[in-house]
Structures are given as C-alpha cells and as structure tokens.
C-alpha cells in the first residue's frame, strides 16, 4: 500500500473511531447518512421483520446491505422507523415483537451490535495507530545517519514485528522497506571488518618493521656493546686483582708484624690470632672492638639469666673468658689502653641499664630462657674461641 493510500485509509478509520467515542468524524458521519438514506428508501419487503435475524451481524457482514461497522444508534433508529412505517395489519404483531427484540435495552440486540461495532472501531484505530507508529519508526530508521542508532531502531522494529498481531500485508510491506536498511548495515559491517583487518595488518607491518630496525641496530651496536662488556670485564678483573693484591699485601704485612711481636705475646693471644688471622692487621682494631661489645652483651644477658634462673653458670664463665681474651688481644697486640677499654665497658653498661634490657628479659621467663640458651652461640659464630 502506498503512503498516500495509507493516509486516506487511516483518515477514514480514525473518523469512524472518533464518532464511536462521541466526538464525531466526517467519514463515519457520511457513512451513517448514506446508511440512513438507504434504509429510508428501502421497499417494505426489504425491511420485513423476519429478515432481521437472517442478517450477518458480525465483522465482515453487511446487514440490510449496510457494512456492519456503520451500524450505530442512528442507523438502528432509521431501521426501526422504516419497519414501523411498513407495518401492516398482517405483520403488525411480528413488527412489534421484532422492535422489542431490537430495542436499545441493556441486553437488546441493538445494544449488543453497537457494543461490538464500538469495540471493532476501537480495535481498528489501535491497528491504524500501530501501523502509523511502525511506518514512522521505519521512516526514522531509513533517515537516521548514525549507523549504531539505525541498527538499534531496526532491532526494535523487529521485536515489535515478532510479537505478532500485525496484518500480514502491513508486515510484508514493512519488511520490504527494512530489507534495504539491513543490506546497508551489512555492507557497512563488511566495510568495517575490512577496515579493521587492514588497520590490524598495518599495525603488524609497522611492528615487524620496527622489530627489523631494532634487529639491524642491535647488529650494528653489537661490536660496540661487546667491546664495552670486555672493557667492563677487564676493569672489574683489574679492580679485583688490585683488591686481592692489597689484601695480600696487608696480610703479608700483618703476618710480618705479628711474627715480629709473636714471641712477646701471651700464649692465649697468639692462639686466638693464629685461629682468627683476620684480626692480625692493625686495621682490624675496630672489628675487634665490635667483637668485644658483642661478647660483653652475651655476658650481660647470661648474668641476668644466672641471677634469675638456675644454671647458666658455665655459660657465663665461658662468656667472661672470651671477653677477657678479646680485651687481652686489644691490650697487648693492638695497643688499646686499659683506660679506653674500661670507659667503653662503663658506657655500655649504662646504656643497657637505661634501656631496661635486663628488666625486659625478667618480664618474660619464656623469652629469657630462649635468649639465655642461645646467648653463647651468638659469639661463637663471630670468632674462633676454642682453647
């Protein structure tokens, strides 16, 4: 159906519905007038009461030659007037009975038919409105320049068509108009796929070109990098050799110094230095002072344990021996004065007392037992103290 023909048809159907709603419409008014005129001009034989029940009072029927949808109250009144006018002595009783049958009572035939007609007109208006909406939706989809929006519009129209309730002719017409839109969408999708594939291929080509350029650059720079690596390796080896040479020189110097002084050292000092040659160089004095602090701390902890728990006497005695041995090495070999050693010991004791280290141990017996059991081993790992 063309848009012009559709518009005319919608106009006529809309008019019928407006009249049924009490508003009135040109098309229905004309139809009613024509129906009334036709009834007024009928011969009496054409409106015989017995003919009423033989009519097709349903959608698609044309009772008394008038389309079913035109049978409103005015048309019925014209029929009843014509029947009354045509009544004779022979059919007067039948006419009265038929008029009562037709009469506009809640359950009369006229009320039934006009109710059906009003429902039919309303249904037709809904159908027309739906048709208008669908055609407008298709028109908007055809005119929409945005691909994504057009696709959304077509999908919505498809959903409405899938729900059914649309005349076949209208659905075929709408589908025919949607086909070019779908084809355009499919063509655009194909173009997009091709464009995306081309872009991806271009990206891969560019990535391959960059990789090739990097490979060539790496080949060009390989000799330089290799030379740099060799220079760095040579420098590292040279530094290592120099370090080892210095350490060897210091060791030799320390051994010579130790050899010159060994005869005058106490036997325990000589034994300790021979078992711990790292303390022979004069530069090891600070390391020995740190060792002295560590051994003194072990003794301090064991003294706390010995005062609070049973045992630990032998560990404490060994800690005191080790402390005295390190002091003796510092005094006789490294030249640290007794006054300096005493000052260091006093400062350490003050620090430990102020920090509350002993109180912290006594506050937790389990922690104190663990600390005391491991205390002597802490200094054992720092130097060789065997007799």
For 352-387, the pLDDT digits (tens) are: 888 877 777 777 778 778 877 887 888 888 888 887
Give the mean model confidence (pLDDT) for residues 172-186. 84
- Specify the pLDDT at position 293: 92
Dihedral angle computed from the Cα positions of residues 100, 101, 105 and 108, in that order, rounded to the nearest 10 degrees: 180
- Specify the pLDDT at position 2: 44
Nearby residues of 325 by Cβ (< 8 Å), 6 or more positions away: 268, 269, 272, 385
Asked if residue 42 lies in contact with residue 95, where contact means CB atoms within 8 angstroms, the answer is no
Last residue of a domain, one of 87, 114, 143: 143
pLDDT at 85 over 50: yes
Lowest pLDDT segment from 153-162, 209-218, 331-340: 153-162
Cα–Cα distances (Å) from 117 to 10, 33, 38, 40, in that order, read: 17, 17, 19, 22
Asked if residue 46 lies in contact with residue 64, where contact means CB atoms within 8 angstroms, the answer is yes
Classify the phi-psi angles of 335: left when phi > 0, otherwise alpha if psi is within -120 to 50, otherwise beta.
left
Nearby residues of 310 by Cβ (< 8 Å), 6 or more positions away: none
Reported as type and span, the H/E element at residue 21 is none
Count structural domains, the chain. Answer: 2
For 63-81, the pLDDT digits (tens) are: 999 999 889 899 999 999 9
pLDDT at 204 over 80: yes
Residue 84 lies in a domain: yes
Residue 148 lies in a domain: no
- Specify the pLDDT at position 41: 92
For 22-59, the pLDDT digits (tens) are: 434 455 656 678 889 999 999 999 999 999 989 999 88
Asked if residue 288 lies in contact with residue 326, where contact means CB atoms within 8 angstroms, the answer is yes
- Specify the pLDDT at position 127: 65
For 100-111, the pLDDT digits (tens) are: 998 877 778 888
pTM for the model: 0.38
Question: Of the spans 49-58, 124-133, 305-314, which averages the highest pLDDT?
Answer: 49-58
Tokens of 355: 């920090």
Pick from 127, 177, 129: nearest CA to 153: 177
pLDDT at 7 over 60: no
pLDDT at 349 over 60: yes
Pick from 5, 123, 4: nearest CA to 68: 123
Last residue of a domain, one of 118, 143, 168: 143
Query: By residue range, what is the domain housing residue 315?
Result: 273-380
Share of the chain residues as helix, strand and coil, in percent rounded to the nearest 5 = 85, 0, 15
In sequence order, what DSSP letters do the residues of 314-357 get, joined into one string?
HHHHHHHHHHHHHHHHHHHTS---HHHHHHHHHHHHHHHHHHTH
Residue 164 lies in a domain: no
- Specify the pLDDT at position 286: 93
Residue 208 lies in a domain: no
Asked if residue 38 lies in contact with residue 63, where contact means CB atoms within 8 angstroms, the answer is no
- Specify the pLDDT at position 27: 53
- Specify the pLDDT at position 76: 93
More confident of the two residues 180 and 29: 180
- Gyration radius from the chain CA atoms: 59
Residue 180 lies in a domain: no
Tokens of 159: 């959903």
Residue 286 lies in a domain: yes
Residue 222 lies in a domain: no
Residue 81 lies in a domain: yes
Tokens of 383: 């130097």
Asked if residue 51 lies in contact with residue 39, where contact means CB atoms within 8 angstroms, the answer is no
User: If you average pLDDT over every residue of the chain, what do you get?
Assistant: 82
Last residue of a domain, one of 112, 143, 174: 143
Share of residues in the chain with pLDDT > 90 (%): 26
pLDDT at 143 over 70: yes
């Amino acid at each position: 159906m063309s848009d012009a023909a559709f518009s005319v048809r919608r106009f006529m159907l809309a008019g019928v519905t407006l009249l049924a709603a009490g508003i009135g419409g040109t098309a229905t008014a004309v139809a009613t007038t024509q129906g009334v005129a036709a009834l007024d001009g009928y011969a009496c034989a054409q409106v015989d009461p017995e003919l009423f029940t033989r009519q097709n009072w349903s959608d698609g029927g044309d009772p008394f030659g008038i389309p079913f949808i035109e049978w409103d109250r005015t048309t019925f009144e014209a029929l009843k007037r014509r029947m009354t006018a045509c009544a004779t002595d022979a059919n007067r009783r039948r006419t009265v009975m038929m008029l009562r049958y037709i009469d506009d009572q809640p359950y009369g035939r006229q009320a039934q038919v006009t109710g059906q007609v009003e429902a039919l007109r309303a249904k037709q208006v809904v159908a027309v409105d739906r048709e208008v909406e669908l055609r407008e939706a298709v028109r908007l989809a055809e005119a929409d320049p945005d691909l994504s929006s057009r696709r959304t519009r077509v999908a919505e129209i498809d959903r409405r068509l899938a729900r059914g309730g649309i005349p076949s002719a209208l659905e075929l017409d709408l589908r025919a108009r949607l086909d070019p839109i779908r084809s355009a969408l499919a063509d655009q999708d194909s173009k997009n796929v091709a464009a995306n594939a081309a872009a991806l291929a271009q990206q891969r080509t560019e990535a391959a070109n960059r990789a090739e350029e990097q490979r060539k650059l790496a080949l060009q720079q390989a000799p330089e990098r290799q030379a740099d690596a060799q220079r760095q390796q040579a420098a590292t080896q040279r530094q290592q050799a120099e370090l080892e040479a210095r350490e060897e020189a210091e060791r030799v110097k320390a051994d010579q110094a130790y050899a010159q002084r060994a005869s005058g050292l106490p036997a325990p000092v000589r034994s300790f230095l021979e078992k711990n040659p790292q303390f022979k160089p004069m530069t090891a004095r600070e390391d020995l002072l740190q060792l002295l602090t560590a051994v003194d701390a072990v003794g301090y902890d064991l003294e706390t344990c010995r005062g609070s728990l049973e045992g630990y006497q032998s560990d404490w005695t060994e800690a005191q021996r080790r402390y005295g041995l390190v002091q003796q090495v510092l005094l006789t070999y490294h030249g640290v004065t007794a006054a300096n050693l005493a000052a260091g010991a006093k400062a350490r004791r003050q620090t430990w007392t102020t920090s509350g280290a002993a109180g912290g141990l006594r506050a937790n017996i389990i922690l104190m037992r663990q600390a005391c059991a491991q205390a002597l081993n802490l200094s054992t790992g720092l130097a060789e103290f065997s007799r």
